[in-house]
Structures are given as structure tokens and as C-alpha cells.
Amino acid sequence: MIAIATSLSRRSRILAIGLVAVGTWLTLGAAAADVPLQVTNARVPASNEIGINLPLLMTIRNDATEPDAILRVRCPFANFSEKHTVDRGEGAPAMREIKSIPIPENKTTELKRDGYHVMLLQTRQKLVDGEKFTCAVVFQKAGTKETEVEVSRTP
């Protein structure tokens, strides 16, 4: 009788450990699913001038089931930022400020000089090729993403 009780309790202990393991695995899976939106390759052009406006470009992968949008961007080396689109009508293409940059679901969005992009206004310092900064990119649904931005000669 004692032997059976011991073996049962050992089995239930193993079962309990198994359940904890499955629980941990599920939690990790949920955590991964919580970050369906990823920002990569964020970059600004190098510049010797101060007080100018520069485009901030990046790649955004949105694996979420709903569209998102960029609401705000804050970089330590610029006083302000705007969201821009480029209009192509009669005459030369022209940049225009918009309220937010749409980030469709299940898609990779590339911010470009000749399309949607973030414009950093009134730079505070020179930007040297290879330098890295951390900028905050605020998404409507994904929230604030602290993003590494690299200065590159040819962004």
C-alpha cells in the first residue's frame, strides 16, 4: 500500500512539473505574440549642419491582425518631428504633413524619402556617419518602441 501511494505521489509530482513546464512555454509564447510589430534599419543621413530638417527612415514589420499607425517620434538630436507623405500631382512632388503614418497589418512598411516618412526638424547637433541614437517611436496600438537609429552617409 505504501509503495503504491509513493509511486502515485511521484507520478502526480511529475505531472505537476509537466504542467508548470507547459504553463511556462505558453507564457513565453504569449510574450512573443505580444510583440508582433518590429522596427528595424532606422536611419538618418549624416550632416555637418545644425538646425536643419532630416528624414528618418525605417522598416516596420507588422504581424498583428489589425492595422497600426505611427503617431509621434522623439529623437534626442532634433527639436521636433512631423509625419510626412509625398504628393505627386501636377508639378514637382511635394511633402505634406499628416496626422499619422498608416502601418497596415501583415505587411512590411518601408518609410522612404519619396513616400511616408518621419521628418526630424531643427537638428541640435552634427550627425556623423556610424553614430547611433535611441529614438522613441510611438505607435497607436503597439505603444512606444525605443528604436536604435543609425547615422548613415547614404540612407
Site residues for Cu ion per CB under 5 A: 84, 95, 119
Nearer to Cu ion, 64 or 75 (CB): 75
CB of 85 to Cu ion, least distance (A): 8
- The b/e string for 53-86 (b: 16+ C-beta within 10 A; e otherwise) is ebbbbbebebebeeebbbbebebebbeebbbbee
Q: Which residue is nearest to Cu ion (CB)?
A: 84
Nearer to Cu ion, 19 or 52 (CB): 52
Q: What pairing do the DSSP bridges indicate for beta strands 117-123 and 54-62?
A: antiparallel
CB of 55 to Cu ion, least distance (A): 6
Dihedral pair phi/psi, residue 89, rounded to 5°:
-120, -135
Nearer to Cu ion, 39 or 120 (CB): 120
CB of 100 to Cu ion, least distance (A): 15
Nearer to Cu ion, 37 or 118 (CB): 118
CB of 127 to Cu ion, least distance (A): 16
